[in-house]
């Protein structure tokens, strides 16, 4: 399977703990996006990278959230001092970077903060 992969698929943590998620984009896709989706809502944009450069961050991305894409391939999203409100599905997408390109989504990481 050469689609976008995310790990882990599920994560349960206690409030106050740090969590880290990984996203592996489709090979050769230079753009990588993170979204958050809560129950009954559409995905909300968090941030995106072109190669290793983080080009845009949503105001939803508080200072407890940090994303990296150190070598322009896989990306990590870390949440520090998790809160119950962080419980959501975290989706990663990638695209090739040409005009009219499609963002292909991964299966998501479902986070539950107790």
Partner 1 sequence: QKEVEQDPGPLSVPEGAIVSLNCTYSNSAFQYFMWYRQYSRKGPELLMYTYSSGNKEDGRFTAQVDKSSKYISLFIRDSQPSDSATYLCAMSPGYSSASKIIFGSGTRLSIRP
Q: How far is the CB of 42 from partner 1 (least distance, A)?
A: 3
Q: Count of residues for the chain? A: 114
Query: Does the CA dihedral 72-75-81-83 come out positive or negative?
Result: positive
Q: How far is the CB of 81 from partner 1 (least distance, A)?
A: 26
Phi, then psi, of 42 in degrees rounded to 5: -80, 165
Complex with partner 1: residue 55 or 114, whichever CB lies closer:
55
Complex with partner 1: residue 80 or 107, whichever CB lies closer:
107
Q: Contact positions toward partner 1, by CB under 8 A?
A: 4, 31, 33, 40-45, 48, 55-56, 58, 91, 93, 95, 97-108, 110
Would you state the torsion angle of the CA atoms of residues 98, 90, 107, 29, taken in this order, to the nearest 10 degrees?
20
Complex with partner 1: residue 21 or 48, whichever CB lies closer:
48
Q: How far is the CB of 26 from partner 1 (least distance, A)?
A: 13
Name every residue whose Cβ is closer than 8 Å to that of residue 19 and which is 6 or more positions away in sequence. Answer: 11, 13, 78, 79, 82, 111
Q: How far is the CB of 100 from partner 1 (least distance, A)?
A: 5
**Looking up tokens 């080009």, which residue turns up?**
55
């Amino acid at each position: 399977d050469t689609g976008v992969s995310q790990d882990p698929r599920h994560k349960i943590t206690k409030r106050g703990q740090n969590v880290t998620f990984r996203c592996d984009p489709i090979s050769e896709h230079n753009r990588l996006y993170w979204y958050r989706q809560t129950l009954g809502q559409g995905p909300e944009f968090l941030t995106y990278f072109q190669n290793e450069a983080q080009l845009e961050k949503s105001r939803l991305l508080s200072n407890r959230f940090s994303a990296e894409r150190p070598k322009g391939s896989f990306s990590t999203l870390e949440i520090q001092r998790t809160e119950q409100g962080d419980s959501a599905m975290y989706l990663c997408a990638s695209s090739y970077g040409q005009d009219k390109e499609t963002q292909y989504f991964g299966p998501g990481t479902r986070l539950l903060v107790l």
